[in-house]
């Protein structure tokens, strides 16, 4: 081929030039480069091959293959056919049926649990349609079908919904009236744990480059008891590295009662140690100054302090690295103190109950 000289006729040059112009207009860079490369080869071939390859950032063999195709088929050889890709294994009707099965949920399809995982859907497709997909392809398939990976939410069964309705219609008005009559604290209580390995949140990052946060990997957490008052926004809290149990809860209750002489109404959830014999005995002994109500089961949305824990984690521990347990404790305590000194921030968490109060005649 070193002695070969490519000579292009005027019609070939015009056809190639037209191909370049059309490809440029259509944004078809690959076809345009092929046509330009063929035009550049006119003359002593050995030198022109190297020039064309260097000019367009490709190797000589690629240019030779383009030239061979051009000599056989002419300008038509420059067309780049789109790959049809792998034909879909599921028909349109089968995808509609699969979507229906997914909508009905895993338990209806015979699986344990109520949340779909890729291997479960892979098995479902195999059993229902005799088609095998890789589990790694399932997310792409589902996205193309209009599904997304989402966090589930609870819905309440009928019995619990009735309890929640009674809480709003009867219990809360009773608590509020008692609190105003006795000029009490109305304390909403809960507990939280802040892990040393950190908590992750969403952040902006370049596409394809997942942000990373260092972690010690130590599975130890700083536990906090907390109460917030409906009337004043006062925040009582106690941090510890001990377990959350009856003993430590009673210790916290004693500390809170020692810091005030006011009558106190306490609202807490149904954690097992809240209902333990030891805690019930303590509450009975202090019943003259401490009245206790339990929230309906599975009703974190009725407890404003849940929102405070989210704020504290967002401000204090999200996306943070804690090399040792002491640094975690210090950061949590710092954030707790901030909210202790910001009663207006705490009061803003009671919007749900404020609206109930305003709505009453």
Q: Decide if 154 is inside a domain.
A: no
pTM above 0.75, yes or no: no
Q: Decide if 355 is inside a domain.
A: yes
Contacts of 173 (CB under 8 A, 6+ apart): 360
Q: Return the pLDDT at 2.
A: 45
Q: Which tokens in the block code for residue 128?
A: 């229902």
Domain end call among 44, 78, 112: 78
Q: Decide if 87 is inside a domain.
A: no
The answer on 302 and 197 residing in a single domain is yes
Would you tell me how many other CB atoms lie within 10 Å of the CB of residue 190?
21
Q: Return the pLDDT at 156.
A: 54
Q: Decide if 155 is inside a domain.
A: no
The answer on 347 and 264 residing in a single domain is yes
Q: Return the pLDDT at 308.
A: 94
For residues 12 and 74, give the distance between their C-alpha atoms in angstroms, rounded to a whole number. Answer: 8
The answer on 194 and 324 residing in a single domain is yes
Mean pLDDT by 10 residues, the chain (361 residues): 63 76 67 72 63 65 73 71 59 90 76 74 84 85 87 62 90 95 95 73 62 59 93 95 90 94 93 88 94 90 92 77 80 91 94 85 64
3-state secondary structure the chain: CCCCEECCCHHHHHHHHHHHHHHHHHCCHHHHHHHHHHHHCEEEHHHHHHHHHHHHCCCHHHHHHHHHHHHHHHHHHHCCCCCCCCCCCCCHHHHHHHHHHHHHCCCCCCCCCCCCCHHHHHHHHHHHHCCCCCCCCHHHHHHHCCCCCCCCCCCCCHHHHHHHHHHHHHHHHHHHHHHHHHCCEEEEEEEEEEECCCECCCCCCCCCCCCCCCCCCCCCEEEEEEEEECCCCCEEEEEECCCCCHHHHHHHHHHHHHCCCCCEEEEECCCHHHHCHHHHHHHHHCCCCEEEEECCCCCHHHCCHHHHHHHHHHHHCECCCCCCHHHHHHHHHHHHHHHHCCHHHHHHHHHHHHHHHHHCC
The answer on 27 and 107 residing in a single domain is no
Say how many domains are in the chain. 3
The answer on 196 and 282 residing in a single domain is yes
Domain end call among 78, 103, 131: 78
Q: Return the pLDDT at 44.
A: 62
The answer on 46 and 104 residing in a single domain is no
The answer on 339 and 208 residing in a single domain is yes
Q: Decide if 32 is inside a domain.
A: yes
What domain range includes position 67?
5-78
The answer on 129 and 102 residing in a single domain is yes
The answer on 330 and 204 residing in a single domain is yes
Q: Return the pLDDT at 123.
A: 81
Q: Decide if 245 is inside a domain.
A: yes
Q: Return the pLDDT at 1.
A: 42
CATH number, domain of 290, equals 3.30.420.10
Q: Return the pLDDT at 108.
A: 67
Q: Return the pLDDT at 5.
A: 66
For residues 262 and 289, give the distance between their C-alpha atoms in angstroms, rounded to a whole number. Answer: 7
The answer on 186 and 58 residing in a single domain is no
Q: Return the pLDDT at 109.
A: 66
Q: Decide if 231 is inside a domain.
A: yes
The answer on 227 and 189 residing in a single domain is yes
The answer on 175 and 317 residing in a single domain is yes
């Amino acid at each position: 081929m070193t002695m070969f000289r490519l000579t292009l006729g005027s019609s070939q040059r015009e056809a190639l030039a037209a191909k370049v112009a059309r490809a440029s207009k259509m944004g078809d860079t690959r076809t345009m480069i092929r046509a330009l490369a063929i035009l550049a080869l006119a003359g002593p071939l050995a030198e022109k091959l190297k020039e064309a390859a260097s000019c367009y950032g490709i190797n000589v063999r690629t240019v030779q293959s383009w030239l061979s195709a051009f000599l056989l088929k002419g300008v038509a050889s420059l067309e780049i056919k789109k790959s049809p890709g792998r034909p879909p294994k599921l028909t349109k009707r089968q995808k509609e049926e699969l979507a229906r099965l997914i909508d009905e949920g895993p338990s209806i399809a015979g699986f344990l649990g109520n949340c779909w995982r890729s291997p479960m859907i892979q098995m479902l497709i195999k059993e229902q349609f005799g088609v095998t997909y890789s589990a790694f392809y399932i997310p792409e398939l589902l996205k193309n079908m209009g599904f997304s990976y989402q966090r589930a939410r609870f819905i309440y069964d009928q019995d619990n919904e009735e309890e929640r309705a009674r809480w709003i219609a009867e219990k809360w008005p009773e608590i509020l009236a008692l609190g105003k009559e006795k000029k009490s604290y109305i304390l909403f209580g809960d507990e939280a744990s802040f892990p040393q390995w950190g908590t992750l949140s969403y952040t902006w990052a370049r596409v394809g480059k997942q942000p990373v946060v260092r972690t010690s990997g130590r599975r130890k957490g700083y536990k906090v008891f907390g109460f917030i008052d409906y009337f004043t926004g006062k925040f009582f809290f106690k941090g510890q590295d001990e377990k959350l149990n009856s003993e430590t809860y009673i210790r916290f209750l004693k500390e809170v009662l020692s810091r005030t002489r006011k009558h106190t109404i306490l609202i807490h959830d149904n954690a097992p140690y809240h209902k333990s014999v030891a805690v019930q005995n303590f509450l009975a002994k202090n019943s003259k100054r401490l009245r206790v109500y339990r929230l309906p089961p599975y009703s974190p949305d009725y407890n404003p302090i849940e929102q405070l824990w989210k704020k504290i984690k967002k401000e204090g521990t999200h996306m943070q690295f804690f090399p040792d347990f002491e640094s975690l404790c210090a950061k949590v305590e710092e954030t707790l103190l901030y909210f202790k000194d910001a009663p207006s921030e705490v009061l803003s968490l009671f919007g749900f109950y404020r609206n109930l109060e305003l709505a009453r005649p």
